[in-house]
């Protein structure tokens, strides 16, 4: 068991993200073997370009509103909503209005 304080995070630049700052809360190898938890703060007009990852991931929106797009659909998120994204599934995200948005991202390596 490990407590991770609100003030504990390692900032990093997420690839293909814009008008955004991000931080790791938990990365594989520290405590967990597979789970990576981070947060993303998106400024108005922020988002992330279409891309994929070999990891499973869950987006949990804490504040603001966002659209998560795949090649075939658009999902609109409000605070408290979650989106599951499977391994290698392409997606992009964008802010929907002039408010900042904060999202927790939970990722897991697939065996």
User: For residue range 47-102, what is the model confidence (pLDDT) as tens digits?
Assistant: 999 999 999 999 999 999 999 999 999 999 999 999 999 999 999 999 999 999 99
**What is this structure's pTM?**
0.92
**79 is a domain residue:** yes
**72 is a domain residue:** yes
**59 is a domain residue:** yes
Number of domains in the chain: 1
**4 is a domain residue:** no
Task: Give me the residues paired with residue 35 across strands.
Answer: 108
The Cβ-side half-sphere exposure at 56, using a 13 Å CA radius, reads: 7
- Integer Cα distance of 19 and 48 in angstroms: 9
Return the CATH number at 16: 2.60.120.10
**94 is a domain residue:** yes
Of 14, 90, 104, nearest to 59 by C-alpha is 104
**5 is a domain residue:** no
Which structural domain, as residue segments, surrounds residue 71? 12-98
Of 89, 102, 88, 111, nearest to 43 by C-alpha is 102
């Amino acid at each position: 068991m490990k407590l991770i304080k609100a003030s504990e995070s390692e900032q990093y630049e997420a690839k293909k993200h814009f008008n955004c700052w991000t931080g790791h809360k938990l990365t594989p190898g520290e405590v967990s073997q597979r789970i990576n938890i981070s947060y993303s703060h998106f400024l108005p007009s922020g988002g992330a370009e279409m891309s994929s990852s070999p990891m499973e991931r869950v987006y949990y929106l804490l504040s603001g509103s966002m659209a998560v797009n795949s090649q075939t659909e658009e999902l609109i998120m409000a605070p408290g909503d979650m989106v599951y994204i499977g391994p290698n599934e392409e997606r992009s995200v964008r802010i929907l209005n002039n408010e900042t948005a904060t999202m927790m991202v939970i990722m897991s390596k697939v065996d």
